[in-house]
A and B are shown apart, each in its own frame.
Chain A
Amino acid sequence: MLRLEKRALPSRVAMLVAPFAAVAFTLLVTSLLVAWAGAPVGRAYALLLEGGFGSAFALSETLTRATPLILTGLSAAVAFKARLFNIGAEGQLYLGALAAVAVGGQHGGSGFALATWLLFPLMMAAAAASGALLLLGPALLKSRLGVDEVVTTLLLNFVVLLFVSLMLDGPMKDPTALGWPQSVTLQEALQLGKLVERSRLHSGLLWALVLALLLWAQLRFTTTGLQIRAVGANARASAFAGMPVGWVKVKVALLSGALAGLAGAIEVAGRTGYVTLDMSPGYGYSGIVIAMLAALNPLGVVAAAVFVAGILVGADSMSRAVTVPTYIADVIVSVSLLAMLVAAMLAQYRIVWQRGASRAR
């Protein structure tokens, strides 16, 4: 008979090894699918690795893709740390992108005639605020009425997408886009600079890295960070010790929503220049996977986001060379989440094989 026994102290080594073991296990499992698709497994993985990390261009593409993923990953990580299950980063990202264009777009040909030094912060603030406010409702419903935030945030994603669709076909539609549902373009001066010439890599990556560092420092060193960790780990004990549990969760909701909103604004300002309905291939949802892979550590989120982005980018180039559909990337990311959850559990528990339970005499 197999039994799980909780370790008194989760081993630190095991916690560190867990993500790598999970990734290795994932590649093992997905190699079966690659083989099934009729491709040589070794070559396919080599192509995947090369396409994601093998050249300066591949690396710039991966980091471009990682930028929004870092931000949505941070959004999920801080929320989950406080046990606020924000599944709505996707919607918050779109609303942030829309807010950025609303402030900084070339409405009527030119947009608001404000100095860039004023308009740029306004644009970022609008994006952060709209993401934050979108999560405020579910957070208040949760703390006041006990409404499950998983349901409300998830459903709000669809509401927001419909709202964005409405705006793209209505007030914010680009009249020069030949009927395509896309928003007006962001003012030239507001767009983020390129980090590397002739690549798509933009300074949004630096924003993401700085925010990751700030969030890590906040969780580790500040009183607010201690409150967030305490409330997430044991809300009753935190309330007994005098922490304002409801208020802490609202603060976390605002922070988490703001990070996802910023992801949208940075994506618009750094990469697309305007909002479309397909600007995010599920960055909000991938952020959850990334946060879990990183064990909710903000610095780990950066590494996990680069890993996931590399898989996504690498799978594209792999599928062009061998006959494996790009969907293998989604499978790899999903399996790695499951493997990570199991690995994290195994780091905290040990499996005990009990002899004799079924051995009746």
Chain B
Amino acid sequence: MTPAAAEASAVLSLRGITKRFGSLLANDSISLELGRGEVLALLGENGAGKSTLVSILFGHYVADEGEIEAFGEPLPPGNPKAALAAGIGMVHQHFTLADNLSVLDNVLLGTEPLWQPFSRRADARRRLVETGKRFGLGVAPDALIASLSVGERQRVEILKALFRGARILILDEPTAVLTPQESESLFATLQQLVVEGLSVIFISHKLDEVLRVSRRIAVLRAGRLVATLPAAEADKARLAELMVGRAVAPARRRAATPGEDTCVLQGASVTNGDGRKLLDAVNLELRAGEVVAIAGVSGNGQEALADILCGLRAPDAGRVRLGGRVLPASPQAWIAAGVARIPEDRHAVGVVGDLPLWENAVLERFATPAFATLGVVRRRAAQAHARNLIERYDVRGTGARGVETPTRALSGGNMQKLILGRALMGDPNAAAGPRLIVANQPTWGLDIGAVAYVHQQLLDACAAGAAVLLISEDLDEIFALADRIAVIHHGRLTEARPTAQWTLSAIGLAMTGGMRREASHAAA
């Protein structure tokens, strides 16, 4: 379809949408058209204004300027109900389902008037099953949400929107929580929707999938619509450049020359309060000069594994040795042994947001002789260290107060650079760099530029002799960095095999526990 034709059959048009938050211009006069039967990708880094735009569209925010038309009718601002009635359905990244109710209940929730004494369930069930069949979204109506996989829950969310008569579907980072196989099945569903004449807005920052599923791509940067181009004319490098505003060099790899075993886990198990195994007899060797990545859908034991290697807890069974020694479950012992730790949640665990930057820069070591004498913090030494860190790790946004700036004021990327610098610089008096780096989702939510920076730092530290454990849900990141990959599912870890021996589909299978079944077939 030519652009002119798309406009002619536009189901949704945004004109001059502007939204400010204080001094921040989140959306700067954005105009967009969505054609009937097309998938439009909304591409942009975190903070580019994608979520704001969609929230305005769905009535969660009110635009300062501009207007929206759906199917030729103006859409009243700030009214989610009106958006629903106009046929706009939204699938949030974080699902809005009640775990203790069935699929049917969840779909019906909020669709029936309160004064209606009985819900018309038989009718609704028929319609639900019908809708599911039509779009290839098979889900048992009576299954409890709690018993469904993440992919199935997403299907319920989509069904929910379709059941309410959505003709325009907005999907916010839909693949962030899916395995590769589940993503494939989602893409197939989207194709089906489009064939039926529905329109889809697909929000993502993953270039590959954007190129795959969409017909047109709208790129947002710093609140502005910088380009709208047909997917057929786009390629990854071009899109990345549009998103970031400059060419991005991917992190450079060096050939791995693994040294001796730095950290060895033997049959490490962690059991939680109600007897469930969070980690089930995990074996893993981490060697100097090598990146080992743990792939898996979140919540499969990554947290317990990271906790052990960060010194937060000891395994309930099995043995963990660092440089041949068994260390106590004490963060200070692990820090002193040369472990650089990058936690998953940088805001809640990585830094104390209310404290100034310099105190966070020495948060792991302020009581050591380098930064304290007789219980008094050596403020000047600590602040000099912080300044050094800010310069070496390119932490920006400190403003006029310099190292006294509250850490909360930093953006996510700069906060991560601070944490990275704190972990990698280690003891200022030590000659060598870190021995082991535990990086848990180190680039989650960062923009492309910051991601490349973090990757390069990890690879450099690795080349300098550190063993790196990378826990990530981002398979692109894993393939870009890892020398060996292991997959975790329900607390069980596969063997860590060289990256070249893995395919995307094999990892996807292992992420859902399929590999063990395969292996047992082979054994039988």
Contacts and interface: CB of A to CB of B under 8 A. Distances in A.
Interface of A: 5, 8-10, 221-226, 229-230, 233-234, 236-242, 350, 352, 354-361
Interface string B377-413: 1010000000000000000000100000110110000
Given A5-B21, A224-B375, A354-B62, A241 B78 contact: no
B291 interface: no
A345 to B, nearest CB: 15
A9 B79 CA distance: 32
Nearest to A6: B408
B331 A360 contact: no
Contact of B367 (A223, A236, A237, A357): A223
B400 to A, nearest CB: 10
Contacts of B364: 241-242
| Interface bin, chain B | 35 or more
B376 A222 contact: yes
B348 A237 contact: yes
B330 interface: yes
A234 B377 CA distance: 20
Contact of A222 (B74, B79, B349, B377): B377
Contacts of A240: 310, 312, 331, 341, 343, 349-350
A241 B331 contact: yes
29 contacts: A9-B405, A9-B409, A221-B379, A222-B376, A223-B372, A223-B376, A223-B377, A224-B375, A229-B354, A233-B352, A234-B348, A234-B352, A237-B349, A237-B350, A237-B351, A238-B363, A239-B331, A240-B331, A240-B341, A241-B363, A241-B364, A242-B311, A242-B332, A352-B22, A356-B77, A356-B78, A357-B77, A360-B76, A361-B76
B363 A230 contact: yes
B58 interface: no
Contacts of B352: 230, 233-234, 237-238
Most buried by B among A10, A234, A357: A234
A8 B353 CA distance: 11
A225 to B, nearest CB: 8
A238 B354 CA distance: 12
Contacts, number: 88
> Chain B contact residues: over half helix, strand or loop, or mixed?
loop
B366 interface: yes
B103 interface: no
Nearest 3 CB-CB pairings of A with B = A242-B331, A242-B332, A233-B354
Contact of B409 (A8, A221, A224, A226): A8
A221 B366 CA distance: 11
Contact of B366 (A9, A223, A234, A239): A223
A239 to B, nearest CB: 7
Interface string B356-369: 00010001101100
A356 B65 CA distance: 10
B348 to A, nearest CB: 6
B440 to A, nearest CB: 11
Given A8-B408, A9-B406, A234 B77 contact: no
Given A356-B78, A360-B76, A360-B79, A226 B366 contact: yes
Given A233-B353, A240-B349, A352-B22, 19 more contacts: A8-B409, A9-B406, A10-B406, A223-B367, A226-B377, A230-B352, A230-B359, A233-B355, A237-B351, A237-B352, A240-B331, A240-B343, A242-B311, A355-B62, A357-B77, A359-B77, A360-B77, A361-B74, A361-B76
Contacts of B353: 233-234
B335 interface: yes
Most buried by B among A10, A240, A357: A240
Interface of B: 21-22, 62, 74, 76-79, 82, 310-312, 330-332, 335, 341, 343, 348-355, 359, 363-364, 366-367, 372, 375-377, 379, 399, 405-406, 408-409
A9 B399 CA distance: 11
Given A237-B363, A357-B78, A221 B377 contact: yes
A242 B330 contact: yes
> Chain A contact residues: over half helix, strand or loop, or mixed?
mixed
A79 to B, nearest CB: 17
A223 B375 contact: yes
Nearest to B341: A240
A229 B409 CA distance: 18
A229 B355 contact: yes
A238 to B, nearest CB: 7
A242 B310 CA distance: 10
A348 to B, nearest CB: 10
A226 B359 contact: yes
Contacts of A233: 352-355
A311 B375 CA distance: 39
Nearest to A229: B355
A167 to B, nearest CB: 38
Contacts of B399: 9
A341 to B, nearest CB: 17
A70 B178 CA distance: 58
Most buried by B among A242, A350, A355: A242
B379 to A, nearest CB: 7
A361 B379 CA distance: 59
A240 B342 CA distance: 10
Contacts of B22: 5, 350, 352
A180 to B, nearest CB: 47
B312 A239 contact: yes
Contacts of A350: 22
B473 to A, nearest CB: 20
A173 B249 CA distance: 84
Contacts of A239: 312, 331
Nearest to B373: A223
Nearest to A12: B401
Contacts of B350: 237, 240
A237 B355 CA distance: 11
Nearest to A241: B363
Contacts of A355: 62
A9 B312 CA distance: 32
A350 B354 CA distance: 18
Nearest to B343: A240
B316 to A, nearest CB: 19
Contacts of B372: 223
Contacts of B310: 240
A229 B359 CA distance: 10
Contact of B348 (A223, A225, A236, A354): A236
Given A8-B408, A361-B76, A236 B355 contact: no
A355 B78 CA distance: 10
A114 to B, nearest CB: 33
Contacts of A238: 352, 363
A356 B331 contact: no
Nearest to A7: B22
Contacts of A360: 76-77, 79, 82
Contacts of B82: 360
Most buried by B among A234, A241, A350: A241
B375 A234 contact: no
A225 B375 CA distance: 9
A222 B379 CA distance: 10
A357 B80 CA distance: 11
A222 B367 CA distance: 9
A242 B349 CA distance: 11
Contacts of B354: 229, 233-234
Contacts of A223: 366-367, 372, 375-377
A175 B70 CA distance: 90
Contacts of A225: 377
Contacts of A5: 21-22
Contacts of A222: 375-377
